[in-house]
Amino acid sequence: MSTEQSIALEKTALGSIVLGAIADDFTGATDLANNLVRGGMRCLQVIGVPQETIDLQDVDAVVIALKSRSCPVDEAITDSLTALEWLRGQGARQLFFKYCSTFDSTDKGNIGPVADALLDRLDASQTVMVPAFPVNGRTVYQGHLFVGDRLLNDSGMQYHPLSPMQDADLVRVLSRQTTHPVGLLSHSVLSQGASAAFDHLSALAEQGTRHVICDTLDEQDLDILAEATVLMPLVTGGSGLGQALPAQYRAQGWLKPITEPGRLNPASGSMLVLSGSCSTATLAQVADFLARHPNSGFALDPLSLAESDRQLEQALVFARQRLSEQTPVLIYASADQEKVSAAQQALGVARAGALVEEALSQLAVTLVNEGVGQLLVAGGETSGAVVSALGISTLRIGEQIDPGVPWTQAPLEGREAPLSLALKSGNFGGVDFFTRAFEVLA
């Protein structure tokens, strides 16, 4: 650890929580919170930077969910720094900047600029970049990100509506987003263990290498990385590292023995799925749901939404009728690459996305008010829009449905029973996710 790192650590080592995390989207935040809970931490997820005092007495980790993945760079930096200051105010010993396991970003950012701003504010000289999430097939080798057996740029992510990933070489991708040197911790070093990894990071820090992309093939590599980086003021990456860090915090004596995660209240109310994700896994989940539940799905189209409110009203009528039959209902804008491109060409990328997010948010608010109690939202940006519209401020983490996606519960103003809510990352979950999720809850 460099002197700068130890000074920064000292500054953040005074208070109660162990880990403070800043997630660049809501599904990513839930994914990380889920893995921290699975690692034995008592974790609270908050939506945006809390404006009121929160009781953190029985909390080891706070994950702040931001909607900063696809917004303008300056906004992402400001929001992330505000979150950082709040977390430091709670005494976080380590900070974690959570982004997507598929490194979703553009040449402008926001991963590089936000990481730089956080490092500057912490007076720290280096951080690691560990996007891998092996249990969901995201691995990194020689700095190249794989999804299953495909390179990132051949995985479907090259067609993402907001952050198309057309380059799998993360050193090169990040080098376009920062003026600082980007290095690699290769698997050949990692396989020699935590002290070899630590020495390599220190040597790179001495040469001025600020960001280090880390190869990661499996859970064992994540354990090694967690051990090598536990004393860094700031780590960055996907939720895989989040599952490995708690054991290291425990080894440092920072955590109490493993606690049973608290159970959520029994779910109640009708079942609704809102999907604005166009990722490959979601498209298959939509198709599977429609095959299992004929006549229980309603498709939204941004081109129609742009014309008038008619389609939104029709969706509402449809949902009300089906929900009264006590079966899960799906309302989706999820569409294949061709349809998404057509909408984007006609309306612009931002407007097409915003129309869908706005429509799904309005439906969520109305239908939750009318009795939906079990809500599944597919898509990171989509979840950000829906959860914000519902005015939710905190989430308790419950049972995992599939790796990276737990059920959560959120208190809602003016309502006795909390809302059961699952926020599904675009590419996570088995093909029958939209059906099985409700069975898990039952």
Ligand X SMILES: O=C(O)[C@@H](O)C(=O)COP(=O)(O)O
Site string for ligand X, 393-432 (x = CB under 6 A): -----------x--------------------xxx-----
Picking from 410, 305, 409, 323, the residue whose alpha carbon sits closest to that of residue 362 is 305
Site string for ligand ADP, 154-193 (x = CB under 6 A): ------xxx-------------------------------
Give the integer Cα–Cα distance in Å for 243 and 133: 10
Instruction: Scan residues 305-344 and list those touching ligand ADP (CB under 6 A).
Output: 333-335, 339-340, 343-344
Residue nearest to ligand ADP (CB): 426
Using CB distances below 5 to 8 A depending on partner kind, what does residue 333 bind out of ligand ADP, ligand X, none? ligand ADP
239 counts as binding ligand X under rule CB under 6 A: yes
Picking from 98, 438, 99, 424, the residue whose alpha carbon sits closest to that of residue 279 is 424
Picking from 166, 222, 180, the residue whose alpha carbon sits closest to that of residue 197 is 222
Among 357, 407, 433, 437, binds ligand ADP (CB under 6 A): 357
Give the integer Cα–Cα distance in Å for 68 and 62: 17
Among 41, 381, 412, 433, binds ligand ADP (CB under 6 A): 381
Give the integer Cα–Cα distance in Å for 197 and 330: 47
Q: Which residue's CB is nearer to ligand X, number 380 or number 418?
A: 380
Give the integer Cα–Cα distance in Å for 385 and 164: 20
Q: In the Cβ-directed half-sphere of 46, how many Cα atoms lie within 13 Å?
A: 19
Listed in sequence order, the residues at least 6 apart from 308 whose beta carbon sits closer than 8 Å to its beta carbon are: none
**What is the distance of C-alpha 32 from the center of its chain?**
7
Picking from 319, 320, 330, 335, the residue whose alpha carbon sits closest to that of residue 293 is 330
Using CB distances below 5 to 8 A depending on partner kind, what does residue 31 bind out of ligand ADP, ligand X, none? ligand X
Picking from 287, 269, 280, the residue whose alpha carbon sits closest to that of residue 376 is 269
The torsion of the CA quartet 426, 77, 182, 129, rounded to 10 degrees, works out to -40
Using CB distances below 5 to 8 A depending on partner kind, what does residue 339 bind out of ligand ADP, ligand X, none? ligand ADP
Site string for ligand X, 330-369 (x = CB under 6 A): ----------------------------------------
Residue nearest to ligand X (CB): 380
Using CB distances below 5 to 8 A depending on partner kind, what does residue 302 bind out of ligand ADP, ligand X, none? ligand ADP
**Token pair for residue 245?**
């860090």
- Segment contacting ligand X by CB under 6 A, of 21-29, 78-86, 348-356, 393-401: 21-29
Compute φ and ψ for 61, nearest 5 degrees: -140, 140
Q: Which amino acid belongs to residue 356?
A: V
Q: Which residue's CB is nearer to ligand ADP, number 191 or number 344?
A: 344
Give the integer Cα–Cα distance in Å for 58 and 18: 11
Cα-Cα end-to-end distance for the chain: 48
110 counts as binding ligand X under rule CB under 6 A: no
285 counts as binding ligand X under rule CB under 6 A: no
Instruction: Scan residues 35-54 and list those touching ligand X (CB under 6 A).
Output: none
Binding site for ligand X (CB under 6 A): 25, 27-28, 31, 100-102, 133, 238-239, 279, 379-380, 404, 425-427
Binding site for ligand ADP (CB under 6 A): 160-162, 276-279, 282, 302, 333-335, 339-340, 343-344, 352-353, 356-357, 379-382, 425-426
